[in-house]
């Protein structure tokens, strides 16, 4: 059904008819559906849940919006979708691009203007990066909008590579094993945060958005600053991937295969209470000790 170019959501209108693009599109749709199902992102209830899908104008959020609408259109995602762009007042931001894009394609949406740019520039010392404060302010506004619109979840376009990079940033700079989870509850406990592209590679998002000709809006705030920790981590991962193709996917699979008994956190595993007769674990992978 996904190969039928005559049976397609308007967000895919004009999609290339090449076999290569069809395979790309099917892969992204399949991986998104798998993540939604695996992490239980669709709540059960009397009425379909409503999702606030955040659209920045970057390649990832365009891909997210298109794939979610595709799944919903085919009856595979029983949710109500509201696209939302937060215009943060960045100089030169093309404010008409996203409203026109969404209106032309009949996508329900809300455009919110909040000048967080001036706040970030004023508060962050010269030479420091803006990402942390910018993200915190943006998140607060998105949570507020979700509540005002009756949404149960804020849906973000972070992909596999974002998740992997965050893991290494926490490892190198934060001293902890943590990353962006595909599903979490906000601190107030009233909203879910979902990342349905958790299994999708950044390169696939880029190829998809470019092939579709979506009007990409670059980030001229944090994305323009050199020396960001994330950029440094990305360069390291790029080097590993170039030397050993497929390394990113192997490392990502490791995040889905944690073994608390083979780490060092006593909050996750009762090392003090471990006896020779108490462990019923048998390692499946060669090279790991067998414990009985």
pLDDT, one tens digit per residue, over 25-83 is 999 999 999 999 999 999 888 889 999 999 999 999 999 999 999 999 999 999 999 99
- 67 is in which domain, residue-wise? 10-249
Q: Please write down the HEC assignment for all residues of 75-137.
A: CCCCCEEEEEEEECCCCCCCCCHHHHHHHHCCCCEEEEECCHHHHHHHHCCCCCCCHHHHHHH
**Domain identity same for 41 and 150:** yes
CATH number for the domain spanning 31: value is: 3.40.50.620
pLDDT, one tens digit per residue, over 145-158 is 999 999 999 999 99
Residue 165, SS3? helix
- Alpha-carbon distance of 193 to 244, in angstroms, equals 33
Is 147 a member of any domain?
yes
Q: How far is CA 36 from CA 33, 77, 283, in A?
A: 5, 9, 29
- Alpha-carbon distance of 126 to 48, in angstroms, equals 47
Find tokens 């409203």 and name the residue: 99
Confidence of residue 20 (pLDDT cuts 50, 70, 90): very high
**Domain identity same for 265 and 133:** no
pLDDT, one tens digit per residue, over 223-257 is 444 447 888 999 999 999 999 999 999 999 999 99
**Domain identity same for 184 and 68:** yes
**Domain identity same for 143 and 19:** yes
Question: Does the reported pTM lie above 0.85?
Answer: yes
**Domain identity same for 138 and 162:** yes
Q: Give the DSSP letter of residue 12.
A: G
**Domain identity same for 235 and 266:** no
């Amino acid at each position: 059904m996904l190969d039928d170019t005559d049976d397609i959501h308007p967000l895919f209108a004009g999609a290339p008819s090449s076999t290569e693009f069809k395979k790309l599109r099917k892969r992204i749709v399949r991986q998104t559906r798998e993540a939604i199902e695996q992490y239980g992102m669709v709540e059960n209830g009397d009425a379909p849940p409503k999702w606030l899908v955040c659209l920045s104008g970057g390649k990832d959020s365009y891909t997210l919006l298109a794939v979610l609408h595709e799944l919903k259109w085919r009856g595979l995602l029983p949710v109500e979708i509201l696209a939302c762009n937060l215009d943060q007042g960045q100089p030169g931001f093309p404010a008409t691009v996203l409203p026109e894009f969404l209106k032309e394609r009949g996508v329900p949406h809300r455009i919110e203007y909040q000048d967080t740019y001036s706040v970030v520039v004023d508060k962050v010392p010269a030479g420091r990066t803006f990402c942390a404060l910018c993200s915190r302010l943006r998140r607060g506004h998105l949570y507020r909008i979700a509540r005002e619109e009756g949404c149960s979840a804020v849906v973000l376009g972070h992909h596999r590579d974002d998740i992997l990079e965050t893991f290494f940033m926490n490892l190198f700079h934060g001293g902890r094993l943590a990353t962006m989870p595909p599903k979490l509850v906000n601190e107030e406990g009233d909203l879910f945060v979902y990342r349905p592209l958790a299994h999708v590679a950044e390169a696939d998002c880029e190829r998809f958005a470019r092939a579709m000709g979506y009007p990409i809006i670059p980030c001229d705030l944090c994305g323009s600053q050199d020396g960001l920790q994330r950029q440094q981590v990305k360069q390291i991962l790029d080097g590993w991937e170039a030397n050993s193709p497929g390394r990113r996917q192997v490392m990502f699979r490791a995040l889905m295969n944690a073994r608390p008994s083979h780490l060092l956190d006593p909050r996750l595993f009762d090392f003090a209470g471990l006896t020779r007769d108490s462990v019923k674990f048998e390692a499946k992978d060669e090279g790991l000790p067998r414990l009985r």
